[in-house]
């Protein structure tokens, strides 16, 4: 059953989608860290149709255009059948939707979606390794400036924190909604050194500057802890 819609923006968008899709609209769900925050400025929305063809997208052009022009993220469209069959390809994304969601219209789209732990582990390791390689590569262009190196760490931690939720699920721990809490929980579960992460969050909040030796040292410690997370996920496969 759909929850009561308290946000006027969301209520208007759902009404526009109902008018555009009529009986073809299966569900509208807001997901992510802002799902339970009625006062949030932005909302991620999942729209599921019973069938999904080009004409269905055409009908939604005006509602989606109005929604995004108000500063909202582009919604995600799936058909019912596609949502169930894509769980093996997008286990991390689907878990993030499943863990924090409010159904605004229709039935729960994840009621019959099954997410494989094996697929989750595979995608999590792939994403972690990819971002770790990218972090090393971007170091070369940022190394000359402590400000750029600091920016690289603060920007990348947000992406890693999102993946840490999947790491926690793989280790049988409930994933927190906020990224900072996800980092703290991962540090605790894997026995990591929290000081690099704490320092980066401090830099984000206080927007302080670092000298080059301090930035270099922090980057080295940060990279080492990220590698421990990658190794921990890789070890899951060896233990299975």
What span, in angstroms and rounded, lies between the C-alpha atoms of 192 and 215? 20
pTM of the entire predicted model: 0.73
DSSP-assigned states of every residue in 96-151: HHHHSEEEEEES-TTTT----HHHHHHHHHHHHHHHHHHHHHHHHHHTT-HHHHHH
What span, in angstroms and rounded, lies between the C-alpha atoms of 184 and 147? 25
pLDDT tens across the length of the chain (240 residues): 455 556 788 999 999 999 999 999 999 999 877 766 666 678 999 999 999 999 999 999 999 999 999 999 999 999 999 998 888 888 888 887 887 788 999 999 988 888 888 889 999 999 999 999 999 999 999 999 999 999 999 999 999 998 999 999 999 998 887 889 999 999 999 999 999 999 999 999 988 889 999 999 999 999 999 999 999 999 986 555
């Amino acid at each position: 059953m759909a929850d009561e819609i308290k946000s006027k923006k969301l209520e208007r968008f759902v009404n526009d989608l109902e008018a555009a899709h009529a009986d073809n609209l299966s569900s509208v769900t807001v997901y992510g860290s802002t799902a339970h925050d009625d006062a949030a400025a932005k909302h991620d929305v999942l729209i599921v149709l019973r069938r999904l063809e080009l004409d269905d997208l055409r009908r939604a052009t005006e509602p989606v255009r109005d929604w995004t022009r108000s500063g909202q993220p582009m919604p995600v469209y799936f058909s019912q059948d596609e949502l169930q069959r894509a769980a093996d390809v997008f286990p991390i994304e689907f878990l993030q939707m499943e863990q924090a969601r409010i159904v605004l219209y229709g039935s729960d789209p994840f009621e019959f979606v099954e997410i494989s732990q094996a697929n989750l582990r595979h995608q999590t390791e792939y994403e972690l390794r990819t971002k770790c390689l990218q972090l090393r590569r971007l170091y070369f262009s940022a190394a000359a400036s402590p400000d750029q190196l600091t920016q690289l760490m603060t920007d990348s931690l947000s992406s890693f924190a999102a993946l840490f939720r999947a790491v926690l699920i793989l280790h049988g721990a409930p994933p927190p909604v906020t990224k900072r809490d996800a980092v703290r929980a991962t540090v605790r579960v894997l026995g990591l050194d929290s000081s690099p992460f704490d320092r980066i969050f401090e830099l984000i909040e206080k927007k302080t500057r670092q000298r080059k030796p301090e930035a270099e040292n922090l980057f080295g410690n940060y990279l080492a802890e990220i590698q421990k997370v990658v190794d921990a996920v890789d070890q899951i496969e060896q233990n299975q």
